[in-house]
Structures are given as structure tokens and as C-alpha cells.
Amino acid sequence: MRNADLVRRKDAATPRGVGVMCNFYAERADNAEIWDVEGKRYIDFAAGIAVLNTGHRHPRLLQAMQEQMARFTHTAYQIVPYASYVELAEKINARAPGRFAKKTAFFTTGAEAVENAIKIARAATGRPGVIAFSGGFHGRTMMGMALTGKVAPYKVGFGPFPGEIFHAPYPCELHGVSVEDSLKALQQLFKSDIDPKRVAAIIFEPVQGEGGFHVAPAAFVKALRALCNEHGILLVADEVQTGFGRTGKLFAMEHYGVAPDLTTMAKSLAGGMPLSAVCGRAELMDAPAPGGLGGTYAGNPLAVASALAVLEVLEQEKLVDRGAVLGDRLRDKLEGLRSRVPQIAQVRGVGAMIAVEFKQADGSPDPDFTRQVQARALERGLLLLSCGVDGNVIRFLFPLTIPDAVMDEALGILADALLG
């Protein structure tokens, strides 16, 4: 089997709307490495878009799923429940930010988690409005697209979108948007577009993912919390990409000293299995009537078994702390190259959620150089992802389990790719 043959078959059998970045096809994977069908090896700094914080095929996760598979694979939790769902909910309730009684419901995808968080917020408040931010990404469903603050490629040709959704600028010093600018924009929304008493929720990413790994300033997050308290608005933290050790904490909101009312999570929650969740204040989570939440595959038992193993691995292998250490190594490497790579405008991030943004000499975004670095790295066997509204940012999402020797090898390839 050859990659070129599979590319031709893919083009004939699947729609172009499912964009595929790589022109090679995976045959097997282990921890932070992938081998394609022709035997070429790649170091994986994409991790299935932040899904594999515990690496490919972690033995503990495989064991947990095999044990569950021997018992049963599906009953639909809403029809015949199982104890593991309850156990995982208890563990998430105990670990999610916020010193208050919590409840958790499980779903399948990050977009589903976001959709259900909005449903819960509207049911709990009786209000329709939702405010999100420019550059944010919240999924490809209709509500997810409405909330997402980036048109191409996510919204093109798919409207109209659900109403009562508003956007404010996300603070980013490099792009000239201060915390004060963002907060003033929110106040302007309240004056010109929607009464704050009609706003159910403000949803934001503590660190924007697709938007470019912009870290929310602490002053901004605390101001959002105060604003929500003032107007009876629910604060929703979208931790789909930031959760489970990626930022040097189990959840990114732990960096801020304030808690959201609702938290969405997915991606690395189950280490590669499709599972998402909404965790929040118990009284809010109970707002929807029985039958208002759920789904046929929501909380699939194999995915739940994997998620319970993920929590064990994160704790036993101290991966949250390891992620912070690995992130520092990457940041130091990138900062050390700045004098030799004038296109580097900023190295930013927190924990193991690091990105580098490239600009041209005149200060404009440089997506061409970004693509060149990505292509050179891929040719040398390192898989990188781009992001950002202008496509001029490379984000790094290596598994937190990556061996030191493989990390060193990857950093060497990255340096070569940046230097041309």
C-alpha cells in the first residue's frame, strides 16, 4: 500500500470539505511517534489536535478499554446506566475548578459539550443571549459556528446561524487589543446590541486554541467573572483544548484564582476516545428537565474507561508537572533562535501550550513563512500544526509522555526548519 494510491482513493471517495493536512496515511503509532503505510517515521507534535496528552496507545488506557470491552461496549447510559459513568463524574466534579457542589454530564465531541453548555445556561437563566470572542473556536455545529469568531473556513457558505450570538474582541497585546479594549467592547454591546439582563452566558477559551494560543490575561478573566456576577450572567470556560494538563495545570482556569460556572472539556479527557463533558454548578446542571440532555453514544463505556485511566496516568506519571517542564524547554529553544529568525514576532503560551507567531519585516502576518516551516519540518519527520486568524502561528501539541530523547530530536528538527 502506498500513500499516493490512498490519496487518489480519498479524493474519489470523500468530500473536499473534510480538509486533510498530511498526504501520508498512518499505519501505527506509539507514544509520540507515528509510522506511515510506507514505513516512514514522524514525531507527532499535533497529538490529534491536543487529544493525546497521554500519548498514542498508552498501555494503561489500552488495558482499561480491553477490560471494559470484555464486559460490554454499549447500553446507552440513558437506558441502562453503568457505574463507571458515575465514577468519572465524581472524579471530574472533584477536580474541576470551583469550590462549590458540581455535577457533570458526558457527551461525545467538544462541539456537543459547547452546545449543551449553552442549553444549560439558557435553561438555568431563562435568557437567550450569548457572548463569545473574536478568534475563538467552539466547534463546527450550527451553534458552534455561530460562537466561533473566525469566518474562513468554518462559516463560509453555512449560514444563517442561530441568533442572539454576539462577539467582542479578545485581548491580545501583540495585535493591539488591550484588556480595557475588550471590556469596553462588552459594555458597548450592552449599550447597542443586547441588554445584559438578556445575556445567558459569556463563553471564552482561557487560552485560545485555533485562534493562535493567546493566553487570557488574569485581569481580563477576573473582570469577566465580576461582570458576570454583576449582571447574573453565567461564565463558561471552554477547556476543550486546554484541559487535562496542557497548560501546566489540570485545567487552565486554575491559573486565575476564579472559577467559571460551567466548564466544557473533551480532547485529552479520554486519550483518543470520543468523549466530552460539561461540568458546572449543581443547581445549574439540574436546570434542564429529564431527557433534555444526553445522546445515544454520550458517555460511551469504552471512552469512560479510557478517561478514568487518563486521570490515573496524569497523576501517577506527574504529567501536569512534566508538561510545564517540557513547555519551558520548547520556549527556551524558540527564544534562543529569535536572533537568527527575524520572522519570529512572539513566543507565547503557558505550560505545554506554546506557540510561535511569524510576521514580515513590515509587521504584517507571514503565513507563507509559517507554511514553509511546517513543510520543512514535515519533510524531516516532525508533524506541526498551524493556527491563528491569519494562519501565521505554529502551535505545539506534543504528548506530555514524549521521551526526552525524542523531544530533543524534535527540537533539533524544529531549529533546522526555522533556519531553512
Q: Which three cell numbers stand for residue 414?
A: 524544529
C-alpha cell, 349: 503560551
Identify the pLDDT of residue 420: 87
* Spatial distance between the Cα atoms of 231 and 224, rounded to a whole number of angstroms: 11
Please state, as a whole number, how many other Cβ atoms lie within 10 Å of the Cβ of residue 90: 13
DSSP state string for 29-52: EEBTEEEETT--EEEESSHHHHT-
What distance in Å separates the CA atoms of residue 383 and residue 343, rounded to the nearest whole number?
Answer: 20
How confident is the model at residue 62, as a pLDDT? 98
Which residue shows C-alpha cell 513566543?
347
Q: All 3 cell numbers of residue 228?
A: 458576570
Per-residue pLDDT of the chain (420 residues; tens, 9 = 90+): 899 999 999 999 999 999 999 999 999 999 999 999 999 999 999 999 999 999 999 999 999 999 999 999 999 999 999 999 999 999 999 999 999 999 999 999 999 999 999 999 999 999 999 999 999 999 999 999 999 999 989 999 998 999 999 999 999 999 999 999 999 999 999 999 999 999 999 999 999 999 999 999 999 999 999 999 999 999 999 999 999 999 999 999 999 999 999 999 999 999 999 999 999 999 999 999 999 999 999 999 999 999 999 999 999 999 999 999 999 999 999 999 999 999 999 999 999 999 999 999 999 999 999 999 999 999 999 999 999 999 999 999 999 999 999 999 999 999 999 998
**What per-residue confidence (pLDDT) applies to 250?**
98
Query: Residue 109: which residues within 8 A CB-CB, separation 6 or more?
Result: 139, 266, 274, 276
| Burial bucket for residue 404 (CB in 10 Å: 0-12, 13-18, 19+) | exposed
pLDDT for the residue 1: 86
Residue 144 has what pLDDT? 96
Could you give all domains of the chain from N- to C-terminal order, each with its CATH number?
Answer: 3-57+318-419 (3.90.1150.10), 62-316 (3.40.640.10)
Of how many residues is the chain composed? Answer: 420
Q: What is the pTM of this model?
A: 0.96
Looking up cell 524544529 gives 414
Handedness of CA 282, 288, 291, 296 (dihedral sign): negative
Q: How far apart are CA 127 and CA 207, in angstroms?
A: 27
Closest CA to 311 of 109, 103, 84, 100: 84
- C-alpha 273: how far from its chain's center? 15
Largest alpha-carbon pair distance within the chain? 62
Instruction: Give residue 170's identity as a one-letter amino acid code.
Output: Y
